[in-house]
Structure 1
Amino acid sequence: MSARTVSYDFTGRTLFLTGAGGGIPAAIAKLFADSGANLFLTDLRSDSLAALADTLNDKTSFETHPVNVSNPKEVTAAAKACKERFGEIDYVVTGAGLYEDGTVDDMPDEVWRRGIAVNLDGVFHTVRAALPHMPNGGAIVNIASMAGHRGSFGHAPYSAAKGAVLSLNRSLAQEVACRNIRCNAISPGLIDTPMVRGLMQELGGEMLNMTPLGRLGTPKEVAEVAAFLCSDGAAFLTAETIHVNGGLYIAS
């Protein structure tokens, strides 16, 4: 049975999205575009932004902006540019991420620092830059990971940063509640993206056997959760983490 697509109406609202060229963020961009939102799309790579732009319908109002989220000045400049182009930033989704291989015993300092800089500092920089431009009633969605809950062999900087993002999300939700801004996280599991396909070549059969639903998730299925968390349907939901992993990691 095919999954039913839920319709959202984000007409006149603006999404500020980081890492937009990645598998999950690109699906989020497309869903929000189809729901009428204005899009301010950032990514480290201009070619990824151009490829994403080519997939958006010609009625979508969007702007692309190359940004390194580990550089606070670049993120601040992007948030200001979004404000100038579209007005208030209604929704923020922090999708930028870096997933590098390497065990702790021989990991160079720069690999550790790079992973933390992108996966944790980048979230902090993005939210801090966007908040002055967000109206009361806005929403923030931080893309975390199953690795932030259970760890990940050979990916300590990534899992450590994602775990910290989960804690940051809970603290941030308390700080912005006075403005009725909601802040939630999504922890994807095995989603059919280029990052996961490499992992599946090594451990795919074993991990799918451990997944009750017996398949990879799709980027669109994560995007649907992001849209829900930004919608009025989640108006009383904040400081939470939604797991999207087909039952591979079960947590309450």
Structure 2
Amino acid sequence: MIDFSGKVLLLTGANGAISRAVARLFFRHGALCVLTDLDEDGVKGFARELDPDVVRILALRQDAAVAEDAERAVDAAVEKFGRIDALVTAAGLYRDRLVSEMSEAEWRQSIAINLDGVFHSCRAAIPHLAEGSAIVNIASMAGHRGSYAHAHYAAAKGGVLSLTRSLALELAPRTRVNAVSPGLIEGPMVQPLIAKKPELIPNTPMKRLGTPEEVAGVVAFLCSDLARFVTGETIHVNGGLHIAS
């Protein structure tokens, strides 16, 4: 059984569909939650839904691309709860743009949020990670396969996969570091893609979209004692689409 009682979660990009599912699951299993997002009002409203008394939760604004924001978030987490037991980096930006039409600013923005943001949060958290702690970085199937009109996103997520493995080597045995690569998961981000490529669902062996809760369950497993000998790995959550295509 998963039990996060008294454990401290720091979750970036906490107002997204997958992130909200992660926060709900950790909170339900007893975690103390520090939730950050660029949308300060959105993440604070979500935090009040989870914990109306705001006893086991802290919500903050964080721009993933800004190193100082990561440091402030970590400092606030440690000031309120004393340490970090689980860091889940879920902040991301996913926008359509062909390389031939992509500006340098668009490239750099995607790399800054999707890759640099993971680096900033991990680096800031390292001195405060508890013994037996875990980091889970949210990657993407795009990081393994590439993605049409999303080269900047795919390149960043490929970097996240390599960063995850390197951190696993650096931080063991005190901290385990793994990644989760979602495929087509229900939520606003996937709807335009399905509209353009409806064949993706029948081409998925499970014949449906995944749910944010199904991704959250894998994240929780990797942060729990059930995965205490798992590090440097990536778990795909895509209903078999990666192997079928």
User: For the residues of structure 1 that align with 2:173 and 2:23, how far apart are their CA atoms?
Assistant: 28
Q: Structure 1 stretches of 5 or more lacking a match?
A: 1-6
Shift of 1:57: 4.2
The letter for the 1-side match of 2:9 is L
Q: For the residues of structure 2 that align with 1:50 and 1:86, how far apart are their CA atoms?
A: 18
Please state how far the C-alpha of 1:50 moved relative to its aligned partner: 2.8
Describe the SS at the equivalent of 1:141: strand
Q: Give the 4+ runs in structure 1 shifted more than 3 A.
A: 57-60
Deviations 1:91-147 (A, max 9, x none): 000000000111001211110000000000000000000111111210000000000
Match of 1:236 among 197, 222, 229: 229
- Over aligned residues, Cα RMSD in angstroms? 1.2
Deviation string for 1:134-182 (max 9, x for gaps)?
A: 1121000000000000011001110000001000100100000042x10
Letter in 1 for 2:47: A
Distance 1:48 1:238 in 2: 33
Instruction: Please name the residue that 1:24 is paired with.
Output: 18
What is the TM-score of this pair, normalised by structure 1?
0.94
Query: What amino acid sits opposite 1:124 in the alignment?
Result: F
User: Does 2:181 align with 1:174?
Assistant: no
Distance between the aligned counterparts of 2:108 and 2:24, measured in 1?
A: 32
1:164 alignment counterpart: 159
Is structure 2 residue 13 aligned with structure 1 residue 13?
no
Query: Which residue of structure 2 lines up, in the alignment, with residue 188 of structure 1?
Result: 182
Partners of 1:19 and 1:12 lie apart in 2 by: 22
Q: Does 1:98 align with 2:93?
A: yes
The reply to whether residue 121 of structure 1 matches residue 136 of structure 2 is no
Tell me, in whole angstroms, the C-alpha distance in 1 between the residues paired with 2:17 and 2:35: 14
Deviations 1:24-57 (A, max 9, x none): 0110000000000000000001122033224314
Alignment partners' CA distance in 1, 2:132 and 2:49:
30
Determine if contact 2:35/2:47 at 8 Å carries over to the other structure: no
Identical pairs, percent: 54
Report SS of the residue matched to 2:131: coil
1:212 aligns with 2:205: yes
1:89 aligns with 2:64: no
1:199 match: 193
Inter-partner Cα distance in structure 2 for 1:48 and 1:129: 24
Q: TM-score if structure 2 supplies the norm length?
A: 0.96
Residue aligning to 1:3: none
Select between 129-138 and 42-51 the one with higher mean Cα deviation: 42-51
Cα offsets for 1:51-110 (capped at 9, x unmatched): 322431447610001000110011101101100000110000000000011100121111
2:21–2:213 Cα contact (<8 Å) kept:
yes
- Aligned position for 1:55: 49
What is the total number of aligned residue pairs between the two structures?
243
What is the rounded CA distance, in whole Å, between the counterparts of 2:6 and 2:48 in structure 1?
22
Matched AA of 2:178: N
* Equivalent residue letter for 2:219: A
Name which of 210, 220, 224 aligns with 2:217: 224
